[in-house]
């Protein structure tokens, strides 16, 4: 059993509040960048991003309220570590809503990349509902608790919720990486774009899964401290920032895609002159066909499929 000290209670909460504030600043910049760069996005995407920023603002306010109450209002209280501040449990609900919206964006990508596979989409929905359901159940039960002694009785529910969250993040990241890997072509530079998207998928789901596992370990190893709470405060901010980075990276990816298309068209024009008629013609005794070689057409069609799927996944 870990000894409860001011360092692993108030100290952990204070450090987490600082990191949370830093992430909020990054989120605000990323959100402003999104609206500046992606004015042509569908209205539903812009509304969801706005809601996510509002939820992140609410989470930041609740975290600051909890830290202020523990360090100022309860200053000098010898049993401060056993008191349960309402904002500590209330932030579970906007966090679950935040998680649900981001997972809906993940499911939309998976649905498009899988050629609208309804079976895979239903599996993703079930996995998401399990993780969000455990989170809401723990939030409802924790609000009814008066102190951390009563809250420790819900340890099994908290562990199940964190385990479901880690599994859901890992599952989504794995599915996205697999679907993106099936979009590879014979072109190395196009493959580099696909690999970049795979890295974004791993960073989006994998990083959040690692954080959830760390929170689970801290919750099991030291349930009487604030270490697990401190990690949980950062959890939704990591996921939101990763999603915003992915959205804002689309412009640079589009530029790379456009450069690839320009290179291929230039290469085609430099290897053969464009014929004036639809059929073959004879130039200096050599028959020139108006139709490009079949391997080139196959390669070009494959790359166009990549561009279509990559853009739809974003």
Is residue 123 in some structural domain?
yes
Between 23 and 259, where is the model more confident? Answer: 23
Read off the pLDDT of each residue in 124-143 and give the average, rounded to a whole number.
93
Query: Cα-Cα-Cα-Cα dihedral of 83, 215, 223, 74, to 10°?
Result: -20
Q: Evaluate whether residue 23 is within a structural domain.
A: yes
Q: How many CB atoms lie within 10 A of CB 79?
A: 8
What's the predicted TM-score (pTM) here? 0.78
In a domain, 262, yes or no: no
- Say yes or no to pLDDT of 77 above 90: no
Does residue 162 contact residue 131 with C-beta atoms inside 8 Å? no
**Is residue 81 predicted with pLDDT exceeding 90?**
no
Rounded Cα distance, 130 and 133, in Å: 5
Report yes or no on 202 lying in a domain. Answer: yes
Is 236 part of any domain?
A: yes
| CATH code (residue 252) | 1.20.1070
Phi, psi of 283 (to 5 degrees): -125, 115
Give pLDDT tens digits for 286-298: 444 444 444 444 4
Quickly state the pLDDT bin for 75 (edges 50, 70, 90).
confident
Report residue 123's pLDDT band, with 50, 70 and 90 as the boundaries: very high
- Is residue 171 included in any domain, yes or no? yes
* Structural domain of 28: 7-257
Average pLDDT over residues 80-102: 90
* Whether the Cβ atoms of residue 176 and residue 226 lie closer than 8 Å to each other: no
pLDDT at 55 over 70: yes
pLDDT computed for residue 32 by the predictor: 94
Q: Is residue 218 part of a domain?
A: yes
Going by C-alpha positions, the residue among 236, 138, 256 that lies closest to residue 196 is: 256
CB-facing half-sphere around the CA of 238: CA atoms within 13 A: 19
Q: Which long-range contacts (CB under 8 A, 24 or more apart) does 288-292 make?
A: 292/268
Per residue in 173-201, pLDDT tens? Answer: 889 888 888 876 656 666 777 777 777 77
Helices 155-181 & 294-313, crossing angle to 10 degrees? Answer: 160
What's the pLDDT score for residue 304?
47
Average pLDDT, the chain: 80
Pairwise CA distance, residues 133 & 140, whole Å: 11
Q: Is residue 310 part of a domain?
A: no
Number of domains composing the chain: 1
Task: Quote the DSSP letter at residue 83.
Answer: B
């Amino acid at each position: 059993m870990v000894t409860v000290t001011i360092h692993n209670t108030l100290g952990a909460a204070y450090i987490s509040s600082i990191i949370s504030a830093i992430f909020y600043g990054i989120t605000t910049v990323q959100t402003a960048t999104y609206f500046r760069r992606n004015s042509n996005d569908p209205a539903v995407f812009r509304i969801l991003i706005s809601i996510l920023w509002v939820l992140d603002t609410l989470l930041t306010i609740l975290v600051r309220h909890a830290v202020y109450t523990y360090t100022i209002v309860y200053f000098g209280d010898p049993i401060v570590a056993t008191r349960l501040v309402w904002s500590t449990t209330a932030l579970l609900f906007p966090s679950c809503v935040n998680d649900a919206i981001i997972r809906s964006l993940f499911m939309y990508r998976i649905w498009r990349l899988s050629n609208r596979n309804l079976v895979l989409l239903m599996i993703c929905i079930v996995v998401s509902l399990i993780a969000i359901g455990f989170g809401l159940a723990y939030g409802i039960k924790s609000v009814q608790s008066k102190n951390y002694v009563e809250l420790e009785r819900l340890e099994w529910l908290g562990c199940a919720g964190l385990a479901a969250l880690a599994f859901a993040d890992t599952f989504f990241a794995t599915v996205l990486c697999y679907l993106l890997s099936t979009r590879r072509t014979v072109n190395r530079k196009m493959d580099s774009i696909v690999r970049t998207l795979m890295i974004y998928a791993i960073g989006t789901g994998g990083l959040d899964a690692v954080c959830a596992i760390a929170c689970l370990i801290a919750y099991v190893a030291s349930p009487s401290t604030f270490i697990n709470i401190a990690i949980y405060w950062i959890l939704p901010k990591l996921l939101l920032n990763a999603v915003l980075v992915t959205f804002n990276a689309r412009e640079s990816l589009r530029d790379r895609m456009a450069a690839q298309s320009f290179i291929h068209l230039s290469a085609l024009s430099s290897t053969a002159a464009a014929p004036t008629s639809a059929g073959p013609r004879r130039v200096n005794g050599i028959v020139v066909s108006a139709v490009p070689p079949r391997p080139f057409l196959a390669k070009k069609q494959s790359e166009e499929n990549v561009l279509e799927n990559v853009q739809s996944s974003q």
